[in-house]
Amino acid sequence: MGKQLVVLVSGSGSNLQALLDHDELGGAIGRVVADRPDAGGLDRARSRGVEAVSVAPGDHPDRPAWEATLGEAVAEAAPDLVVLAGFMRILSPAFVHRWPLMNVHPSLLPAFPGARAVTDALRWGVKVSGCTVHFVDEEVDHGPIVAQEAVPVHDEDTPETLHARIQAVEHRLLPHCVALYCRDRLSIDGRHVRILP
């Protein structure tokens, strides 16, 4: 029996699509949860017969109430791993400690954490950017790194062109890392994640 996965999305869900399309994930996506009812990722999930629900902050009186409902929506699917695939909200330490969480981020962490990573990298004038798959801890874009891959930055790049090239790598790297987790091939020792044979 493979691992149970829940995927959290905020936008179009291209990284979710990469997970759905991966033939050897070693786990089943039991539910997709979005923080916006119009998130394209919900349609991608439903088109594959995966249960998809939205838990919008605006439907709740405050952030703790929203996160409690989000937690219930995740818990109902009993996940072994929660994957943040373009989920653009910060989660509390209490939420982060309920399940293992894996995130994909469009920079080579620890450089350029946060929501404007691609724009920040271009403003800094870096020659190389990339993406990072990491476990989530209490700090933003901070947890132990599973894998990284570099993407060259071109002189004529805009945030859109660079992000598109980074996303192409994300769509390969995130499913690879999730599959390693589902096959019990990741060992975490402090900040170090080792890939087991």
- The residues annotated with a catalytic role in the active site are 105
Q: Comparing C-alpha atoms, which of 171, 184, 9 is closest to residue 80?
A: 184
Return the structure tokens found at 186: 């990741």
In this structure, what are the phi and psi dihedrals at residue 32, rounded to the nearest 5 degrees? -115, 135
Q: Contact at 8 Å (CB) between 88 and 124?
A: no
In this structure, what are the phi and psi dihedrals at residue 159, rounded to the nearest 5 degrees? -55, -35
Measured torsion, CA atoms of residues 184, 87, 117, 149, in degrees rounded to the nearest 10 = 30
Whats the size of the chain, residue-wise?
Answer: 197
Return the structure tokens found at 97: 């400690």
